[in-house]
Amino acid sequence: MKIVRVVDLSHPVTAETQVYPGDPVPHLEQHSTIERDGFNLMSISMGSQSGTHVDAPYHFDNDTKRIDEVALDLFIGAATVLDCGDLAAREAVTIESLGAQLDKVQRGDIVLFKTRWSRFYGTVEYFNNPYLDAKLVSLLLDRGVLTFGLDAINIDETPDDTHEGVGFPAHHLIAKAGGVICENLTNLDAIDFERPMVSILPMKFIGIDGAPVRAVALQVEQ
Ligand SMILES: [Zn+2]
């Protein structure tokens, strides 16, 4: 097996990283310097789900797996990218809108939903993200998918003053099934080949809800 290309699917982590409303903003501070200490080293604080990250089931259910308890094979493997087409603000991605593309999905796949909402990253429009319809999530869970990723801030609709009570149905369904969600992916357009190998391995924090990832898609030749 040979890796022909590595596609970076991650947003930069800086003080400017756009976070979910109310979440902590990354803070990076020089802790040691070559001039003073002989080496460079940073102190970093950030939300567990700031930037490109994965959610463990524990994010929405106290009685399920924390990020360190999830089997690692959910975070690495063959992926199917589903093109969600030209979506409007807060539009649902549905079984009907994906149509025959769903036939490509194989049991155990990492499924990446290309909503193209990453083009609004850094603007308020990023919070008016499209989302996955609950029936679509249930269908994929039934077909053996446990890893869902998308290029938007939230797999569910993001609540605000005029969209209160939208809830987190996709998060709850996936948590209940023991699955994981990767949010804030970017650059999905650069995956112009079929069946990429995808890695979204989280940092090994213990007992928490999620973790930042460096998400990549690999083009491999057998
Ligand atoms: Zn989430």
pLDDT tens track, the chain, 222 positions: 899 999 999 999 999 999 999 999 999 999 999 999 999 999 999 999 999 999 999 999 999 999 999 999 999 999 999 999 999 999 999 999 999 999 999 999 999 999 999 999 999 999 999 999 999 999 999 999 999 999 999 999 999 988 988 999 999 999 999 999 999 999 999 999 999 999 999 999 999 999 999 999 999 998
Q: Tell how far the Cα of 221 is from the centroid of ligand 1, in angstroms.
A: 33
Q: Tell how far the Cα of 195 is from the centroid of ligand 1, in angstroms.
A: 24
Smallest Cα–Cα separation from 11: which of 60, 53, 59? 53
Given a contact cutoff of 8 angstroms between Cβ atoms, the answer to whether 52 and 10 are in contact is yes
Q: Tell how far the Cα of 55 is from the centroid of ligand 1, in angstroms.
A: 5
The CA distance from 213 to 123, in Å, is 22
What is the pLDDT, as a whole number, of residue 213? 98
Q: Tell how far the Cα of 152 is from the centroid of ligand 1, in angstroms.
A: 10
Given a contact cutoff of 8 angstroms between Cβ atoms, the answer to whether 79 and 110 are in contact is yes
Q: Name, in order, each residue with C-beta under 8 angstroms of 76's C-beta and a sequence gap of 6 or more.
A: 197, 198, 199, 200, 201
What is the DSSP track for 162-208? Answer: TSTT---HHHHHHHHTT-EEEES---GGG--SSS-EEE-PBP--SS-
Q: Name, in order, each residue with C-beta under 8 angstroms of 5's C-beta and a sequence gap of 6 or more.
A: 193, 218, 219
Written as six digits, the tokens of 216 are 């990549």
Q: Tell how far the Cα of 169 is from the centroid of ligand 1, in angstroms.
A: 11
What is the pLDDT, as a whole number, of residue 164? 87
CA angle 207–212–215, rounded 5-degree value? 130
Q: Tell how far the Cα of 183 is from the centroid of ligand 1, in angstroms.
A: 6
Q: Tell how far the Cα of 40 is from the centroid of ligand 1, in angstroms.
A: 33
Q: Which domains are assigned to the chain?
A: 2-11+47-221 (3.50.30.50)
Q: Tell how far the Cα of 1 is from the centroid of ligand 1, in angstroms.
A: 33
What is the pLDDT, as a whole number, of residue 93? 98
Q: Tell how far the Cα of 56 is from the centroid of ligand 1, in angstroms.
A: 9
The CA distance from 80 to 182, in Å, is 14
Q: Tell how far the Cα of 137 is from the centroid of ligand 1, in angstroms.
A: 14
Q: Tell how far the Cα of 133 is from the centroid of ligand 1, in angstroms.
A: 15
Q: Tell how far the Cα of 100 is from the centroid of ligand 1, in angstroms.
A: 27
What is the pLDDT, as a whole number, of residue 165? 86
Q: Tell how far the Cα of 191 is from the centroid of ligand 1, in angstroms.
A: 23
How many CB atoms neighbour CB 63 within 10 A?
A: 7
Residue where the block lists tokens 């109310």 = 22
Q: How far apart are the first and last CA of the chain?
A: 4
